[in-house]
Chains A and B, each alone.
Chain A
C-alpha cells in the first residue's frame, strides 16, 4: 500500500481541499504514468469521527479505512474533534495493487481537525467535500455520540450512521438513542447501524443454520423455551439484540436471560423444542460449539476486528430489515 500526504490550509477552505485533491490525483497520475496508471475509485463518502481529542484514535481510524478501501473504495473524511482547536485539514490517498492486477487503484481521503464545540460549522464545511450522488456513511467511533448531542449536526449529512454501543453502560438508553436517530432521519430514509449488532452475525448464522438442519424444529421451538446466558454483570446491547431477535423470530417462545460469570456478551443459547435440547455455546478461541440431539460440531465465528465489522456494515447501504425490526 502506498500512501501520500499533502498539507492543506491551516484554516479550512473546502475549495482549497478540493483543489489539493485534484493536484494529488494529477501527481499520482504523473508518477504512475508509465506503469499502467492509476484508477480513481470511489463508491461512497465515509466520514469517520474519531474520539474527542484523541490523535491515536484518528490514526487508528485512518488505518482501518485504509484496509476498508480495498473493498469499499470511498472518499474518506477523518474528523478529529478537539477542544478549542483550530480548523485544519490535509488530503491523502490510499493506493493498492489488486492481486494479479496491473493498474494501481487509489482512493482519496481528507483529514480534518476541528473545534469540538463547532460541529454545526463542521457540518457546513463537509457539505462541499462530500462526493456527489454517492451514499454518505457516518461512522461515530466512540461513545461520545451517546454522551451529549455534539455530533447531532452531522447526522443529516449521512444516509447511514454506524455507532458502536459496545462500551456503553446503559444498553437500554443506547438503544433508545439509536431509535431516535433513525426516527429523526425517517423521511430521508436514514439507516442506523450498531457494531454491537454486527458482532452477533456469527451467532445468528449458527442459529439460522441450526434451524435449517432441523426442518420444522423452529416451529416446535416457537412454543418452547430459549435460555440465553450472558456475561459482564448486566446485559449489554449485544445480549438485548440477540434476545429480541429470537423473540421476533419465535413469537410465543419464552426467552430468558441468565447472567453467568465471564466477559460481556452472549455466552450460550439453549433452545428447548427442537426435538431435544439444542444449544449454541461460546467455544475455545473464536468458535461456537453447536449441539443437537443428533450431532455436535464447531462453527467458526467471523473475525471480530473493526475492519471486518465495518466491512460488513458498508456492504449494506440500503435498508436492513432484520436490524430495523430488532431495534423496534
Chain B
C-alpha cells in the first residue's frame, strides 16, 4: 500500500494485492506443487490474495483446467505447511486456476497466455519462472516477442526468477542482459527463499531493533562466525540437477552468502528495499576474493559415499555434495574475522544456524586448576531451522561450594513467544512480489558479487581430481574441513 494513501494503517491491515494474474512456467514441477500453489492457497485463505486472482499454470504436459485443479488440490492437501486444508476455501480458490499446455520454445504458448490474460481482463501480471534454468532467457525473450512483460500505466508486469541465476559469473551477466531486454530491473524479482524465512528476517530485527547486541557485533568482540546448512537427506530424486550444481552453486553462492550478508552488513539508513539491498550488496563486495593458491587452504570439497550410485548421477562424478569455506570481510568492522560457511548432504542432522563465537574473557580469573572449570567462549546461536530461535551460551557458577563454572544456555524459542503460525518463505515472497516490495529479493549486483566470491573455488575445483568419496553419510563431512578450522585454532560446532 503506497504511503501516500492517507487511509493506510499498516498496523491493522495488510497491503492489498491488486487484481492480478500469476503465470507459472513449470507448473507441473515440484516447486509448483510443493511450494507455490500451497503458498498462494494460504494467501487466499488469509484473504491476502484477492478473490479474483487468476493463476495460470503452463507446462508441456497436456492437462485440462479441471485436471490441473485436481492435481493441485492433492498437492495443497499434502504440502500445506502448519495449517489445515479447507475444502470450501479450495473450491473458491480453484475457480481462479487455469492451465495452458505448451512448449516453452513455441511462440504459440505465449500467444495463448496473452489471449488468456486478455480474456480474464488481467493487466497486472506476475510471471514465475519455475522451469529448468536453461530456459529462463528464452522464456523471457519469447514473452517480450509476444508483447508481454512491459509495465504500462494500465498495469505492471513482473518476473520472478528462481535460483540459480546463472551457472557462473559470465552466464549470470548474460542472463541479466537478456532479461533486461524485456523487463526493467525494477520488475525483476530474483528469489532466494532463505531471505523470506521469518528467522532470517529476524536477524535484522535482532541486530537493529535492539540496543545491546550491535555494539558487540564487530571484530573487537567476535572471534569467528560459523554458518552451517546441513541436510540429513541425499538427493531425493534431484540427481540430474544436483550433479550440475553441487554444494557451492546450490547453497553457498546464493542462500548462505545472503545469510552471511545479513549477519555482517552495516545498518541500513531505513527499512526500505534499496537501502537494505545496498548494504547487503556492499557486504558481498567486501568479501575478500581468494587467490587461486589460497583455495586449497580456505575451501574444502566433499562427496558422500554412495553419491555416485544415486539415480542420474555420473558414476565418476566430481560434484561436491559438501563444501566448506573460510571467508574474510575486508572492512573495518570485520577485518581478520573468519566466517566459516559449510553446507552438505547426508550429514548427521538437518539444521541451519549461525553461530557467533565471542572472544573469551580477557583475564582468566577462574582457571581450570581452581576446580572443575570448563572455560568456554560465549556463543550466540541464531537457529534458522528446524527449531527457530536464538540461544546465548554463557558461563554460570555451579551450585555448591567452590567456584565451579559451567556453560548454560539462555534460549528464545519462536514457538514459546509467538503461538501463531509463521508464514512460509514463499508466502512472504510471493506477496511481496505481488505488492511490489523487493526488499527480500536479490539484485543483480548482489548476484554478481556472490558469484565473484565463489568463482575462484569453482574454478579450482573444476581443475582438480578429488579422491571421492571422502565422507561417510551421517558424519559431519570430510576431515579436511576440520583441519581447515584447526589451522586457525577453531573447531566446528557439531551439535
A residues near B (Cβ < 8 Å) are 39-43, 69-73, 98-101, 103, 105, 201, 204-205, 207-209, 211-213, 218, 245, 248-250, 300, 312, 316, 320-322
Contacts and interface: CB of A to CB of B under 8 A. Distances in A.
B5 A218 contact: yes
Contacts of A69: 419
B415 A39 contact: yes
Contact of B82 (A41, A99, A245, A312): A99
Contact of B7 (A40, A43, A101, A249): A249
Contacts of A250: 6
Contacts of A218: 5-7
A99 B6 contact: no
Given A43-B418, A212-B16, 9 more contacts: A39-B416, A69-B419, A100-B82, A105-B419, A201-B12, A204-B13, A208-B16, A245-B7, A249-B6
A100 B12 CA distance: 28
Nearest to A312: B12
Interface in B130-169: none
Contacts of A249: 6-7
A208 B419 contact: no
A322 B5 contact: no
B386 to A, nearest CB: 11
A73 B7 CA distance: 31
A43 B417 CA distance: 5
Contacts, number: 83
Contacts of B495: none
B416 A322 contact: no
Interface in B380-397: none
Contact of A208 (B13, B47, B416): B13
B12 A40 contact: no
A41 B5 contact: no
Contacts of B415: 39, 41, 98, 101, 103, 105
Given A39-B416, A42-B416, A73-B417, A99 B84 contact: yes
Interface in B1-18: 1-2, 5-9, 11-13, 16, 18
Given A98-B82, A99-B82, A99-B83, A204 B9 contact: yes
Nearest to B9: A322
Nearest to A300: B47
Nearest to B418: A43
A105 B47 CA distance: 27
Contacts of B47: 300
Interface string B392-422: 0000000000000000000001011111110
Interface residues of B, number: 25
Contacts of A245: 7
Contacts of A100: 81-82
Contacts of A39: 413, 415-416
Contacts of B16: 208-209, 212
Contacts of A201: 9, 12-13
Interface string B5-36: 11111011100101000000000000000000
Nearest to A40: B416
Contact of B12 (A103, A204, A213, A300): A204
A139 to B, nearest CB: 18
Contact of B420 (A42, A71, A204, A212): A71
Contact of A213 (B6, B9, B18): B18
Nearest to A245: B7
Contacts of A72: 419
A250 B6 CA distance: 7
Contacts of B7: 204, 207-208, 211, 218, 245, 249
A218 B3 CA distance: 13
A108 to B, nearest CB: 12
Given A212-B5, A218-B5, A250-B6, A322 B12 contact: yes
A204 B1 CA distance: 13
A103 B414 CA distance: 13
Nearest to A106: B416
Contact of A205 (B12, B83, B418): B12
Contacts of B83: 99
Please give me the 10 A-B residue pairs with the lowest Cβ-Cβ distance, nearest first: A249-B6, A208-B7, A205-B13, A41-B416, A71-B420, A209-B16, A322-B9, A73-B419, A70-B419, A43-B417
Contacts of B419: 41, 69-73, 98, 105
Contact of B11 (A43, A99, A316): A316
